Amino acid sequence: MPDGQEVSGDEMMKKVVEELLPRLMKECGLGEIVGSVESVSGGFMHRMYKVTTERGIYAVKHLNTEIMKRPDAHNNFARAEKIEGILEQNNIPIVPAIVIRGRKMQKIDEDFFYVFKWQNGRIADWDCISDEQCYKAGNILGRIHAIEPKNVEPKDLVLCHIDWHDYIVRAKGEGSVIASILEENEKLLVYAENELNRARATLPNILCLSNEDMDPKNIMWDNDIPHVIDLECLDYGNPASHAIQLALQWSGIVTCNMDIDKLIAFFKGYLVAYDNCFRGYSNIIGVGYTWIEWLEYNIERALGNCMDEAERELGICEVRNTINRIAYIQKQEPLIKDALNRLCSFSIK
């Protein structure tokens, strides 16, 4: 397309399927495409395709072009790739990107891709996750955290500072449908931000390899065997924070249908693999409000800072969903704190 001419989501997808993917597979030595390219779920940020060639079946991730324009994007992906290699060396059950021509990230024109071997299996239904799956997921996270944990010196806190009132004013000025829900929940969002910052100030001074994005949609189950997918968010992080956030997600926070037994199962699996003796989890449940940062990202998308209309609509949908989750967490705080206090008395063997 000529410079300055906007490309719609449908046009971009057509270009990817008809032009870029055939070139990608051929240049990577993976053969000619046979049959139709299938669009499959690729999460909320990127697009994923099932591509069959004469040499095999592959999953190809087309990285979001807006994200790739960010100044820190390539450094973040490079760091995630390095950690991915460490997880492979430690036999963590992951589905890594294929190394082709000495690199994992592939470029065709101005677009970037990852290619994976196709992984059989399915993602667990959010409403039908078993205690055993929670245990196994927690155990994988614990195994990751146990690879290179280290005590670190206290440093300046990375606190959250979001001007919720300004977003309300912007949304009203643009006539956005999200204006009313933001205004109705302004006090809730201020509360969540304050609790998040307070919890971050209480975290133990530990740093480790981590996968903050290892929620149920990012584990494939093949005959009850888990395989972790979507690894571009691999990074270094605080184990206590990530354990809380993921335990809440696996226990049902995302669907606002929490099962405390699942939260306990996740932590049992986690602590069997990695126990740094920290037990102050009930004091840091505010880290569960990191959803406000996902909310801010989607507010921006809903207000037009996105790739196309489809992504804007996704942003609007996620604004509503995320605020509902934040409200649900607030209501469940007493139950969560009680469960985590009971967790502190567990003898993990």
Name the token pair of 40: 């499959």
Model pLDDT, residue 1: 33
pLDDT in tens, 110-138: 999 999 999 999 998 888 999 999 999 99
Name the token pair of 67: 């994200």
* Percentage of residues in the chain having pLDDT higher than 90: 81
Q: What is the pTM of this model?
A: 0.87
Q: Where in the chain is the domain with CATH 3.90.1200?
A: 123-344
* Fold classified for 123-344: Aminoglycoside 3'-phosphotransferase; Chain: A, domain 2 (3.90.1200)
**Three-state helix/strand/coil letters over 236-255:** EECHHHHHHHHHHHHCCCCC
Beta-sheet strands, E only, within 152-224: 206-210, 219-222
Q: Cβ contacts of residue 133 below 8 Å, gap of 6+?
A: 124, 216, 219, 221, 226, 250
Pairing label, strands 56-62, 235-237: unpaired
How far is Cα 84 from Cα 229, in angstroms, rounded to an integer?
Answer: 11
The answer to whether the CB of 228 falls within 8 A of the CB of 94 is yes
Name the token pair of 202: 């209480």
Give the bridge partners for 236, in sequence order. 209
Beta-sheet strands, E only, within the chain: 38-40, 47-53, 56-62, 106-108, 111-117, 122-123, 150-151, 206-210, 219-222, 225-228, 235-237
Q: Tell the burial category of 223 from Cβ atoms under 10 Å away from its Cβ (0-12, 13-18, 19+).
A: exposed
Mean predicted lDDT score pLDDT of the chain: 92
Q: Which amino acid is at 141?
A: L
Residue 2 has pLDDT above 50, yes or no: no
> Which position has the higher pLDDT, 26 or 1?
26
Model pLDDT, residue 66: 84
* Percentage of residues in the chain having pLDDT higher than 70: 95
The three-point CA angle 296-300-305 to 5° equals 155
Give the bridge partners for 52, in sequence order. 57
pLDDT in tens, 18-37: 899 999 999 999 999 999 99
pLDDT in tens, 172-217: 999 999 999 999 999 999 999 999 999 999 999 999 999 999 999 9
Q: Where in the chain is the domain with CATH 3.30.200.20?
A: 9-118
CATH class of 9-118: alpha beta
**With bands split at pLDDT 50, 70 and 90, how would you rate the model's confidence at 157?**
confident
